[in-house]
Amino acid sequence: MATANTEKPAFAPIKTQRAFEVICEQIRAQLAAGTLKAGDKLPAERELAAQFQVSRSALREALRSLEVAGIIRNLKGVKGGAVIQSAEPDRIVQAMQDYVHLGDVTLDELTEARIAIQDIVVRLACERGTEAHFAELEQIAERTRAETSVEARYECAAAYYDVLARATGNRMFGIFVDSLSGVLHEFVQGPGYETLQETLIDSRFKLIRFLRARDAEAAAEEMRKHLERVYRHVRKNIKAQAGSGGARKA
Amino acid sequence: MATANTEKPAFAPIKTQRAFEVICEQIRAQLAAGTLKAGDKLPAERELAAQFQVSRSALREALRSLEVAGIIRNLKGVKGGAVIQSAEPDRIVQAMQDYVHLGDVTLDELTEARIAIQDIVVRLACERGTEAHFAELEQIAERTRAETSVEARYECAAAYYDVLARATGNRMFGIFVDSLSGVLHEFVQGPGYETLQETLIDSRFKLIRFLRARDAEAAAEEMRKHLERVYRHVRKNIKAQAGSGGARKA
DNA sequence: CCATCTTGAATGGTCCGACCATTATAGTTT
DNA sequence: AAACTATAATGGTCGGACCATTCAAGATGG
């Protein structure tokens, strides 16, 4: 053995290129280059496997990877095959949920990030939102009041935040908001959630009024107070059930 | 055929549960419940397939899905198997890149989101960053000046933003920043990038001075101007190569 | 001629068995 | 005791097979 350089190994970690990885890379590259775009259709598995000169198993693992990444959708039957999907933020939310479940992010971090993001969203929505947006928000808020089940009300809340994010005209904020509230939703499974609902719904209507008045400061302040209320409630529940198997790390 | 209800179909879209999906769900569920956590090891493929009572192929597709999602890592050799990975934000960045490549996000949106996020990051870093953080930033900025290749300088830039995000003490911001700059990096492959470098490096040092002085306003302003400079440059390049196969949608 | 039904071929999903390179351990040799 | 070797288990890949699904072409009927 030659004497190892103690300073810096400088050896690139060997990267065994597996067949399915190469396939994924090639398809992703064509996607980034624009050769492939949403709606395009790939050949059938058997033919594609022949083109790549790999077995159908290896190709299927590649297609499966691309599918769970939300890039393609596999169609059955004759004239089937893989079609390039249009963009769906779901996978990003999924990735963030995985990240949180693997235990590196605390409730405090999630909440702080959410408050910061929503602050931006509210201010931009206040500036750029149209009356159509505000009307939609109002409609959702009224529907929330009508709903009774916790799950239905959460659906309404998600829709509310989604419209708010759309009002910014920037889809990236929608992604951030969806990700954070998707993850935080798991924490909001405690008792005494109903008692808070009246306050929360009032806050939504109040926010809409501020948005219509184009009062960014007041709107942002209202949203911040709202989120902090929810946070305090969630935090209390977390401590109550401290480590009962559910989402921990709070 | 019975007369279709024109009002609301109300039929839940059928969801053919494929074998690998069920497997993924079960493992993800155990992950969310805490039964499985980072570092745990799953049985070998053949044994796991027997436990789930599915073929090895179906199980492998499930494991492959979990691997590309960054949840597990497959080890070869005897005593091999799948081990639960610790959290890595790479997959979230990958998901965002896919989302952008699928063509729903414009350069303007990415830039606006980046400016907004960095504004938060800078202010928080200004408030919470330690001298250790600032020293690290300084070191990276000096290294940037020493580097010559475009790629090496990008590495430095990424490291710089990473430390900045770490200084906030909130990992979520690191994810957002990584995602946005990872995607934006693809746009920054144009001519005349070197001419801008001196200005950019100066801006980094200036920012560090503002951070040490705990002057959040000045720091945020400096970062904003910096990002807008980069944006104008990128935008110009995009228009120059308009639709030459590279990243479009600008 | 048009609408409906039947048929068939191609496809994705799954299963099985096999082989290879890699890897860690037990056993052997020095 | 150290170094080497043999062995068995593992993930990666391959090829073939069968099934339920799906769609299009052809057959049937009006």
Q: What's the Å distance between residue A76 CA and nucleotide C12 C1'?
A: 5
For residue B85, the one-letter residue type is Q
At A2 the pLDDT is 40
> What is the rounded distance in angstroms from the CA atom of residue B60 to the CA atom of residue B41?
16
Other beta carbons less than 10 A from residue A47's beta carbon: 12
Range list of β-strands (E), chain A: 72-75, 81-84
Per-residue DSSP letter, A38: T
Residue A34's contacts (CB-CB under 8 Å, 6 or more residues apart) are: B245, B246, B248
A51 beta carbon to strand D: under 7 Å = no
User: Residues of A numbered 48-107 whose beta carbons fall under 8 angstroms of chain B's beta carbons: which are they?
Assistant: 57, 60-61, 64-65, 68-71, 84-89, 91-92, 94-96, 98-105
Choose the weakest-confidence range: A18-22, A122-126, A182-186, B47-51. Answer: A182-186
**Per-residue pLDDT tens digits for B67-98:** 999 999 999 888 889 999 998 888 888 888 88
B44 in contact with nucleic chain D (CB within 7 A): yes
- What pLDDT does residue A85 have? 92
CATH 1.20.120.530 range(s) for chain B read 90-240
pLDDT over 70, % of chain A: 86
Rg of the Cα atoms in chain A? 24
B90-240 architecture in CATH?
Answer: Up-down Bundle (1.20)
> Which residues are within 8 A (CB) of B181 and not within 5 positions of it... i.e. 6 or more apart?
B114, B157, B158, B161
Q: Is A38 on the interface with B (CB under 8 A)?
A: yes
Give phi and psi for B214, each to the nearest 5.
Answer: 55, 35
Into which CATH architecture does domain A19-84 fall?
Answer: Orthogonal Bundle (1.10)
How far apart are alpha carbons A70 and B189 in whole angstroms? 27
What long-range pairs does A43-47 form, CB within 8 A, spacing at least 24?
A43/A81, A44/A80, A44/A81, A45/A81
Distance in Å, alpha carbon of B31 to nearest chain A alpha carbon: 7
Cβ <8 Å between A71 and B98: yes
Say which residue, A78 or B238, is predicted with more confidence.
Answer: A78
Kindly report, residue by residue over A159-217, the tens digit of the pLDDT.
999 999 999 999 999 989 988 888 888 776 666 666 677 888 899 999 999 999 999 99
Where in chain B are all domains bearing CATH 1.10.10.10? 19-84
A51 touches strand C (CB under 7 A): no
Comparison of pLDDT for B4 and A209, the residue scoring more: A209
| pLDDT value of position B248 | 44
Contacts of B83 in chain A (CB under 8 A): none
Contacts of A102 (CB under 8 A, 6+ apart): B31, B38, B71, B84, B85, B86, B87
For residue B157, count other CB atoms closer than 10 A to its CB. Answer: 21
Q: Where are the alpha helices (DSSP H) in chain B?
A: 19-33, 45-52, 56-68, 90-101, 107-128, 131-146, 150-166, 171-185, 193-212, 216-240
A154 burial type by CB count under 10 A (0-12 exposed, 13-18 middle, 19+ buried): middle
User: Which pair of structure tokens corresponds to residue A12?
Assistant: 């690139």
| Res A13: pLDDT | 57
